[in-house]
């Protein structure tokens, strides 16, 4: 029998492996001090959307260390317990209840995605634990009356679409093609693009989709080429939108390409290379913060975040980490006034006004738990590998 060749050594090896794994595990979980303020983080750190979760996790760890160096909140040390949901709804639910039950967090920052956020709302809401999501979907915070403990810091795709359509109207473009990714981000964007087109006087002449990990979109774009579209709008995150840009260039499709705010990262320019030139997109001000006037209240906030992040992680900053940054700062302000009671924190969060964050200026209200207006976006154009403000 195969197993009995030398089970002594194997079983010992297995035993050692198990012991090492468990011991390291025990060492890595340091118990929280009774006095600590414990907040939870739940991001898609691995899995297909890890490019969102990674900067969010990094950012949260960075700001927590920063606030502790300054003496914490109201003199209390802050501890962040961060879990990975791998982009899966069941995993998110499990981790959310773990954060609430085992780690006794006073609030949760994240998840990174719309589906994982939606999945945990009926865990955090009855537990009266404030949740500040970093995902784009409009439905996360609405209807607010049913979800008084749910907030979000990411700009909604509703505003991004409105901004793009405003721009297109100015350019006298009225026939557009849309190509969207088959993820929650893309589907939600597609719905908004379709819903807002008729009131903006735009006609969608082609609708295409692509997979998050697809590597060739020439067939879809070839299809678009046969339509009278005057511009292409691409809605996606990660490397795929860059491939769309490259494929358009390859096909000699010279009509303007407009990307979503999902492409508003330095990485996108790097991925798309020369094909990035001339692309227009709505971006958070983080993309062009250097061009902002000093009077803009966001400028100082963004500058501080970008410089610290890039110095610590040696990688270009993205707007995604900014969602976690804003979420933490909003939370810190609320906790400093309300203490650690969930209901009071939610009350405080709801009353925050004129709070300059990385993603925009937050004006929360009992009707709006996102608090951002269309001015959270600016239209930018890629010019010689740099973001430039248009308008």
Residues 113-142, interacting with another protein (CB under 8 A): 114-116, 118-119, 122-123, 127, 137, 139
Q: How far is the CB of 121 from another protein (least distance, A)?
A: 8
Per the document, the length of the chain is 391
Binding to another protein by residue 186, rule CB under 8 A? Answer: yes
Six token digits for residue 283: 């971006």
Q: Which is nearer to another protein, 7 or 278 (CB)?
A: 7
Query: Do 56 and 317 form a contact (C-beta atoms < 8 A)?
Result: no
| CA dihedral sign, ordered 76, 364, 358, 194 | positive
* Count of residues near another protein by CB under 8 A: 90
Residue list 72-91, contact with another protein (CB under 8 A): 83-84, 87-91
**Interaction of residue 257 with another protein, rule CB under 8 A:** no
Considering only CA atoms, which of 342, 368, 382, 359 is closest in space to residue 56? 359
Kindly write down the DSSP assignment for every residue of 89-149, as one continuous string: HHHHHHHHHHHHHTS--S-EE--SSHHHHHHHHHHHTTTT--EEE----GGGS-SGGG-TT
Strand residue runs (E) in 319-374:
355-356, 361-362
Strand 150-152 relative to strand 231-235: parallel, antiparallel, unpaired? unpaired
Which three-class secondary structure state does DSSP give residue 101? Answer: helix
Find the part of the chain contacting another protein (CB under 8 A) among 64-72, 96-104, 151-159, 281-289: 96-104
Return d(Cα 47, Cα 290) in angstroms, integer. Answer: 33
Asked if 340 is part of the footprint of another protein (rule: CB under 8 A), the reply reads: no
Q: How far apart are CA 14 and CA 364, in angstroms?
A: 54
Separation CA 264–CA 285 (nearest Å): 10
Query: Alpha-carbon distance 270 to 246, whole Å?
Result: 12
- CA-to-CA distance for 59 and 368, rounded, in angstroms? 25
Q: Is 270 in the site for another protein (CB under 8 A)?
A: yes
Nearest-approach distance from CB 353 to another protein, in angstroms: 30
Instruction: Determine, following the binding rule CB under 8 A, whether residue 235 of this chain makes contact with another protein.
Output: no
- In whole angstroms, the minimum distance from the beta carbon of 277 to another protein comes to 12
User: For residues 353-382, which are near another protein according to CB under 8 A?
Assistant: none
Stretch that binds another protein, among 65-73, 264-272, 278-286, 370-378 (CB under 8 A): 264-272
Instruction: Compute CA 7 distance to the chain's CA centroid, rounded to the nearest angstrom.
Output: 49
Place of tokens 């400028």: 299
- Considering the complex, state which of residue 139 and residue 351 has its C-beta at the smaller distance from another protein: 139
Residue 341 is a binding residue for another protein (CB under 8 A):
no
Site for another protein in 289-308 (CB under 8 A): none
Nearest one of 354, 369, 370, 264 to 318, comparing CA atoms:
264
Tokens 């010992």 belong to 12
Least Å distance, CB 67 to another protein, is 21
333 binds another protein (CB under 8 A): no
| 17 is an interface residue for another protein by CB under 8 A | yes
323 binds another protein (CB under 8 A): no
Which region, judged by CB under 8 A, interacts with another protein, from 67-75, 218-226, 323-331, 346-354?
218-226
Which bin fits 201, alpha (ψ -120 to 50), beta or left (φ > 0)? left
Which positions from 43 through 72 interact with another protein, judged by CB under 8 A?
45-46, 48, 50-51, 54
- Minimum CB separation of residue 375 from another protein in Å reads 26
Closest distance between another protein and the C-beta of residue 161, in Å? 16
Residue 173 found at the interface with another protein (CB under 8 A):
no
279 binds another protein (CB under 8 A): no
Of 22 and 300, nearer to another protein (C-beta) is 22
Binning the chain into helix, strand and coil, the percentages to the nearest 5 are 50, 20, 30
The helix/strand count (H/E) of the chain reads as 12, 14
Q: Tell me the window of 67-75, 250-258, 279-287, 376-384 that interacts with another protein (CB under 8 A).
A: 250-258
User: Toward another protein, which CB reaches closer, 125 or 340?
Assistant: 125
Residue 31 in the binding site for another protein (CB under 8 A):
no
User: Which parts of 187-206 interact with another protein (CB under 8 A)?
Assistant: 187-188
Neighbours of 345 (CB within 10 A): 22
Minimal distance, residue 337 CB to another protein, in Å: 28
């Amino acid at each position: 029998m195969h197993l009995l060749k030398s089970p002594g050594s194997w079983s010992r090896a297995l035993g050692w492996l198990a012991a090492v794994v468990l011991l390291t595990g025990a060492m890595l979980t340091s118990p929280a001090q009774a006095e600590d303020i414990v907040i939870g983080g739940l991001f898609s750190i691995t899995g297909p959307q890890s490019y969102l979760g990674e900067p969010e996790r990094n950012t949260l760890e960075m700001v927590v260390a920063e606030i502790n160096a300054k003496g914490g909140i109201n003199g209390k040390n802050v501890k962040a317990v961060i879990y990975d949901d791998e982009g899966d709804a069941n995993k998110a639910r499990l981790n959310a209840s773990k954060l609430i039950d085992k780690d006794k967090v006073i609030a949760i920052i994240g998840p990174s995605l719309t589906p994982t956020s939606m999945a945990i709302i009926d865990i955090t809401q009855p537990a009266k634990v404030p949740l500040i999501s970093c995902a784009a979907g409009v439905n996360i915070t609405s209807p607010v009356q049913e979800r008084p403990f749910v907030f979000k810091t990411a700009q909604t795709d509703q505003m991004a679409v409105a901004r793009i359509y405003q721009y297109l109207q100015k350019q006298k473009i009225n026939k557009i093609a849309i190509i969207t990714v088959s993820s929650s981000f893309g589907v939600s964007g597609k719905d908004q693009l379709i819903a807002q087109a008729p009131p903006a006087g735009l006609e969608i002449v082609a609708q295409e989709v692509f997979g998050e990990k697809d590597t060739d979109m020439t067939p879809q774009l070839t299809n678009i080429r046969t339509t009278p579209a005057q511009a292409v709008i691409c809605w996606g995150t990660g490397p795929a939108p860059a491939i769309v840009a490259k494929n358009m260039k390859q096909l000699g499709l010279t009509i303007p390409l407009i990307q979503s705010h999902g492409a508003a990262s330095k990485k996108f320019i790097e991925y798309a290379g020369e094909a990035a030139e001339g692309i227009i997109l709505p971006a958070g001000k983080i993309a062009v913060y250097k061009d902002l006037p000093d009077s803009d209240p966001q400028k100082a906030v963004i500058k501080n975040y970008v410089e610290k992040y890039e110095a610590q992680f040696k990688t270009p900053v993205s707007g995604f980490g900014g969602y976690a940054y804003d979420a933490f700062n909003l939370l810190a302000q609320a906790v400093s006034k309300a203490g650690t009671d969930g209901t009071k924190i939610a009350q405080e969060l709801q009353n925050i006004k004129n709070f300059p964050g990385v993603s925009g200026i937050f004006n929360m209200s009992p009707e709006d738990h996102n608090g951002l207006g269309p001015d959270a976006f600016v239209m930018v154009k890629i010019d010689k590998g740099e973001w430039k403000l248009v308008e």
